[in-house]
Structure 1
Amino acid sequence: MNQFENKVAVITGAASGIGRALAMRCAEEQMKVVLADVEVVELQRVEQELQSAGATVLAVVTDVSKEKDIQTLAQKTLDMFGAVHLLFNNAGVGAGSTIWQSTLADWQWVMNVNLWGAIHATQIFVPMMLKQGTECHIVNTASLAGLESGPGNSIYRVSKHALVSLSETLYHELKMIQSKIGVSVLCPGFVQTQICDAHRNRPAEYSKPGDIVEPSPMSSAIDQFIRSGVEQGISPKEVADHTFLAIKSNRFYILPDPSYKEPVRQRMEDILNQHNPTFVIPSHI
C-alpha cells in the first residue's frame, strides 16, 4: 500500500503513545482518521489537535474488549467515510504480577483488551475490506515481548505471543485467497508511552475487592526494570515512521529498534537447538 491520501485509517488506542503517533502520521499522509479509545478527555484532545492541523477526523469512544463497541466503531466509520483502508489494532494494557500471583481479573482484563480486541476488529473489519476489493492493510501492535522469552510482564507477554500468531495466521489466510489486504505485526521494544500506568483505564469490573495482590520483591524489581526501559525507550513517532515504511514495502515483521533483535535470535536458537529458554537483556538497558 503506497497511496494514502484520502484513504481512511482506523486506530484503536489512539489517545496516547503509539496510537496517537500513528494518528498524527496518518494526518500527515492526508488520510481521513478515525480515532478509537476509552480515554474520553485524551481522545478529544487528539481529535482537536488533528482538526487544528486540517485533518478530517472522527473520534469514537471505544472499549475494544467489547464486540458491540467495535461494531459501532465500524458502522460509524462506514457512515461517515464509506470505507476503511488502514486498520491499526493498537490498543493494549498491562497488569498483574508473576504467572501464579496474577489474579483472574488481571488475566481477563489484559487478554480481553490485547487479544480479544484484535479478534473482534479482525472479524468485523476484514469482511468489510474484502467486500471493498480495494488495497488495504492491517497492523497489529504486538511487542518484542511476543517474540522472546523472559520473566515478568506475564499476562502481557502471553497476550502478545498470541497476537503475533494471530497476525501470522491472518497473513497466510489472506494470501491464500489472493486478497488485496496486507498484514503487519508491530513488535517494538521499549517505547516512551504510558503502558506502565495502564491501570488508569482499568474498569471497575476487573478491580473487585480482594483482586489486588501485594507485589513481591521479584515482581517489584521486574516492574522497575520495565519502567526504566520505557523511560529510556524510543519515541512513539519513531515507531510510527518505521510502521509506515513497512506498510509501503508490504513488510510483515516490524522491529523499530534493531538492538532488540538479539533476544529474538536467542529464542529461535533455543527452540531449534532444543535448549532451555534463555533470558537476554538488551545491551543498552
Structure 2
Amino acid sequence: MKHLEGKTAFVTGAASGIGLGIATALAQAGVKVMLCDIEKAALDKAVATLRETNADVDGVVADVSLKDNLQRAADETIARFGKVHILVNNAGVGGGGDYGTWNDAGWNWVVGVNLMSVVWGIEIFGPLIEAHGEGGQIVSTASIAGMVALTNPAYDVTKFGVVALSEDLRPKLAARGIGVSVLCPGVIRTNIVDSGRNIPSRFAGQIQTVPTEGPGTEILKAVTEAIASGIDPLYVGELVREAIENDWPHIFTDMQFEPHIEARFAAIKEGFDRIRDRVPRY
C-alpha cells in the first residue's frame, strides 16, 4: 500500500504504548484511524489528543479477548468510516505465570488477548478488506519472544503463535490483495508490566500477573527498569507505517536480540546435523 492517505485503519490496544504509536504514525500519514482499547479513559484521551492535530480518528471500547466485542468494534468502524484497509492486531498482555504457578484463568486470559484476538481480528476484518477490492494490510504484533522464548510460557506460546499465523497467511492472503506483516518488537516503552490493570472481571482474583516473592521479583525489577528506558513507541509506529507501505513480512525494532535468535537457529541446525547420515533411504 504505497499511498496511505485517505485509507482507514483499525488498531487494537491503541490507547497507549505501541498501539498509540502506530495510530499516531498512521494518522500523521493521512490515514483515518479507529482506535480500539479496553481502557475507556485512556482511549478518550488518546482520541482527543490526536484530534487536536486535525487527525480523522475515533475510538471504540472493546475487550478483544471476546469475539463479540471485536465484531461490534468492526461494525462501528464500518458505520463510522465506510471501509477498512488496514488491520493492526496490537493488543497484548504479559503474565500467565511460570511453570508451577500458572492456572487455567491465566492461560485463558493471555491466550485470549494475545492470540485469539488476532485470529478473530483476521477472521472478521479480512473479508471487510477484501470487499472493497482496494487492497490492504494486516499487521499483527507478536514480540521478539515470538522468535526466541525469553519470558514465560503463556506469553511465549502466544507470540510464537502470532508469528506462525502471520507467516502461514502471508502467501494465501497475498493472492487476495492483502499483505501480511508480523511485528516483533524488542524492549519498548510501554505499560505491559502493568497488564494486570486490565484483567477482566470474569478472571478477578484468579490471576497473579507479577511475582511477589523469590527471584522473580528481581527479574521483574530489571525488566521494569529496561522498559522505562526502552524504545519510543512512536518510532515503532513509524516503522510499521513504512512496513505497510512496502509490505514487509517481518518488522523488527532493533538488533538487541539478534544473537539470541541466531543461537536458536544454530541449535536447530545442530538437530538436523545429528541425524544427517541416519535418515532412511526409501
Judge same fold: TM > 0.5, yes or no: yes
User: What displacement does 1:100 show?
Assistant: 2.6
| Equivalent in the alignment of 2:100 | 100
User: What displacement does 1:242 show?
Assistant: 1.4
Q: Give the secondary structure class of the aligned counterpart of 1:184.
A: strand
Distance (Å, rounded) in 2 between the aligned partners of 1:220 and 1:10? 36
| Equivalent in the alignment of 1:158 | 157
Paired-residue identity, %: 36
Listed as ranges, the matches of 1:32-43 within 5 Å are 32-43=32-43
User: What displacement does 1:208 show?
Assistant: 3.2
Distance (Å, rounded) in 1 between the aligned partners of 2:69 and 2:92? 16
User: What displacement does 1:212 show?
Assistant: 4.1
| Equivalent in the alignment of 1:81 | 81
The more displaced of 223-232 and 211-220 is: 211-220
Distance (Å, rounded) in 1 between the aligned partners of 2:4 and 2:119? 25
Distance (Å, rounded) in 1 between the aligned partners of 2:9 and 2:64? 16
| Equivalent in the alignment of 1:248 | 245
User: What displacement does 1:83 show?
Assistant: 0.8
Listed as ranges, the matches of 1:3-42 within 5 Å are 3-42=3-42
Aligned length: 271
1:262 aligns with 2:256: no
Note if contact 1:108-1:206 (Cα within 8 Å) is conserved in structure 2: no
Letter of the structure 1 residue corresponding to residue 49 of structure 2: E
Q: Give the secondary structure class of the aligned counterpart of 1:258.
A: coil
- Superposed CA RMSD in Å reads 1.6
Structure 2 unaligned residues grouped into runs of 5+: 273-282
| Equivalent in the alignment of 1:60 | 60
1:2 aligns with 2:7: no
Q: Give the secondary structure class of the aligned counterpart of 1:259.
A: coil
User: What displacement does 1:154 show?
Assistant: 2.5
Letter of the structure 1 residue corresponding to residue 116 of structure 2: W
User: What displacement does 1:250 show?
Assistant: 1.1
Q: Give the secondary structure class of the aligned counterpart of 1:93.
A: coil
C-alpha distance 27-212 of structure 1, shift in aligned 2 (>3 A):
closer
Distance (Å, rounded) in 2 between the aligned partners of 1:149 and 1:92? 16
| Equivalent in the alignment of 2:271 | 274
User: What displacement does 1:235 show?
Assistant: 0.8
| Equivalent in the alignment of 1:279 | none
Note if contact 2:184-2:250 (Cα within 8 Å) is conserved in structure 1: yes
| Equivalent in the alignment of 2:276 | none
Q: Give the secondary structure class of the aligned counterpart of 2:257.
A: helix
Encode CA deviations 1:140-198: one digit per residue, 9 max, x unaligned: 00000110123x433111110111111111112213xx121001000011000000001
User: What displacement does 1:245 show?
Assistant: 1.7
Distance (Å, rounded) in 2 between the aligned partners of 1:51 and 1:84? 19
Q: Give the secondary structure class of the aligned counterpart of 1:65.
A: coil
Structure 1 unaligned residues grouped into runs of 5+: 276-285
Distance (Å, rounded) in 1 between the aligned partners of 2:250 and 2:260? 15
Moved over 6 A (4+): none
The more displaced of 259-268 and 57-66 is: 259-268
The more displaced of 156-165 and 227-236 is: 227-236
Q: Give the secondary structure class of the aligned counterpart of 1:9.
A: strand
| Equivalent in the alignment of 2:232 | 235
1:128 aligns with 2:125: no
User: What displacement does 1:226 show?
Assistant: 2.1
Note if contact 1:97-1:219 (Cα within 8 Å) is conserved in structure 2: no
Q: Give the secondary structure class of the aligned counterpart of 1:95.
A: coil
| Equivalent in the alignment of 1:223 | 220
Note if contact 2:96-2:109 (Cα within 8 Å) is conserved in structure 1: no
The more displaced of 183-192 and 89-98 is: 89-98
Note if contact 1:17-1:236 (Cα within 8 Å) is conserved in structure 2: yes
Q: Give the secondary structure class of the aligned counterpart of 2:33.
A: strand
User: What displacement does 1:104 show?
Assistant: 1.5
Note if contact 2:4-2:245 (Cα within 8 Å) is conserved in structure 1: no
Distance (Å, rounded) in 2 between the aligned partners of 1:225 and 1:96? 19
Distance (Å, rounded) in 2 between the aligned partners of 1:216 and 1:264? 30
Letter of the structure 1 residue corresponding to residue 112 of structure 2: N
| Equivalent in the alignment of 1:112 | 112
Letter of the structure 2 residue corresponding to residue 40 of structure 1: K
Note if contact 2:146-2:157 (Cα within 8 Å) is conserved in structure 1: yes
| Equivalent in the alignment of 1:194 | 191
C-alpha distance 97-216 of structure 1, shift in aligned 2 (>3 A):
farther
C-alpha distance 225-96 of structure 1, shift in aligned 2 (>3 A):
farther
